[in-house]
Amino acid sequence: MIPKFLESFDFLKLLNLSYNHFEGEIPTNGVFKNASATLIKGNGKLCGGIPKFQLPNCNNKKSKKTLTPMLKLIIFILFGLLGVSLILLSLFLCSLRKKRKENTSSNSINLFLDVSYQSLLNATDGFSPTNLVGVGSFGSVYKGILNQYRHTVAIKVLNLARRGASKSFKAEFESLRNIEHQNLVKLLTAYSGIDDQGQDFKALVYEFFGNGNLDEWIHPTPITNESFENPRKLSLIQRLNIAIDVASALDYLHHHCQTPIVHCDLKPSNVLLDDKMIGHVSDFGLAKFLHAIIQDSSANQSSSIGVRGTIGYTPPEYGMGNEVSIYGDVYSYGILLLEMFTGKRPTNSMFLNGLNLRDFVKANLPERIIDIIDPNLPWERQEGEIRMNDTHNEDQNESLKIQECLILILEIGLACSTEVPRERMDITDALVELHLIRQNLLEPVSTDKDFKLQVH
């Protein structure tokens, strides 16, 4: 019979079906509407069509063709084989998925063969509250000593009852196992298995930092064995050094890893300080590999990104469902920088009716720089930081130099935290600027009263 689909070819101008032993009814649409454009000579069993074909009417009673027993058997066997194949394939995929789920964070993680649940239990005195040093979104951190390490370690135990904890464990492990930088926390080992009760148990082991996190230093409160007269304080140079440390870590994650990594939760409490007050970025539980985001840009993923991060540090585009990007980390860094030098959290109660930390800083620069700087920031210099003389002029220039430095630092914070992502300063450029500010700040004070920091 003449294929019915030919009548749907709107641009078909000539169709020659002559002498092809066609039979049955001719279609009536498309090219078949034009008797001069459709040649049907030599097909004696055709019927119907438009009147110009001058063919007999078709008999509406179509003969029913019955399948032979052999053909029925062949069809039955083929469908049976197809059904069995589909069942076996489904079972295989389910088994593979289950195996991957069990082994993705188990077999790969247990490449570290030097840790067990019992060793973690012993290291923390049974996860004693006296060894608890912090509680995060997805777990608790304990300090302890493992036999294979001579120094104190930090053991992060995941709360697997918390939704997203397993994904956080996997993200943190995958992010840190193949990267190493002096300003990133070092993952020493990990465990994924069961505890002594037969329940799932996951833990990550890091190097321990005795000076706590940056948040505790920016917003100091008296702690045990610390006098009220000598609270924690960070000098100007210390804050600038830590800001450079964090920028160096982000620059490495964004531009120097084999696959760019977006941290997604940069904030002062996730910056740990070692004994030399060097900053180390930690907590990669929300981190994302950039290639994975590009490959999976589904609506479901985009809509879930709005909750990624911490209020106050999360860029505005995440709240609108945009995909995570290095620009989001830069925004968080800008807010962190403003907080470091103003001493005000982005969630401070003073920020009401649309006012936020960024607008507060922008409205007061540069004229009221003294009014917005953290009152806990010591103005006096620590030994070896800046050489000072006793003359009045140089004291004046020193004060001007410090103010100019603070203005430039806060301007970098503003440039990193603009609302439009692609207008934000690149973290590499911010790092260069901060190095220049530190270099100028550490140079001897100029005797020129019209002194100006030379930063591009």
| Strand partners of residue 206 | 154, 187
Task: Please tell me whether residue 133 adopts helix, strand or coil conformation.
Answer: strand
CA-nearest of 170, 212, 160 to 190 is 170
Give the containing element (helix H, strand E) for 25: strand 23-26
Residue type, 166: S
Could you tell me where the DSSP H helices lie in 219-311?
236-255, 290-295, 299-304
Q: Are residues 206 and 154 in contact, defined by beta-carbon separation less than 8 angstroms?
A: yes
**What is the spatial distance between Cα 429 and Cα 412, in angstroms, rounded to a whole number?**
10
Bridge-based pairing of strands 45-48 and 23-26 is parallel
Q: Are residues 418 and 346 in contact, defined by beta-carbon separation less than 8 angstroms?
A: no
Burial class (CB in 10 A: 0-12, 13-18, 19+), 171: buried
Task: Please tell me whether residue 353 adopts helix, strand or coil conformation.
Answer: coil
**What is the spatial distance between Cα 153 and Cα 156, in angstroms, rounded to a whole number?**
10
Catalytic, 275? Answer no
**What is the spatial distance between Cα 410 and Cα 426, in angstroms, rounded to a whole number?**
15
| 432 phi, psi to nearest 5 deg | -60, -45
Mutual orientation of helices 326-342 and 236-255 as an angle, nearest 10°?
A: 180
Sheet of strand 187-194: strand arrangement: 132-135, 139-144, 153-158, 200-207, 187-194
**What is the spatial distance between Cα 368 and Cα 348, in angstroms, rounded to a whole number?**
19
Q: Name the token pair of 300.
A: 């479901």
Q: Name the token pair of 41.
A: 């000579």
Residue type, 240: L
Q: Are residues 406 and 341 in contact, defined by beta-carbon separation less than 8 angstroms?
A: yes
Please give the C-alpha separations between residue 195 and each of 198, 201, 333, 395, 447, in angstroms, as whole numbers.
5, 6, 38, 63, 67
- Active-site entry in 114, 200, 215, 265: 265
Catalytic residue annotation = 265
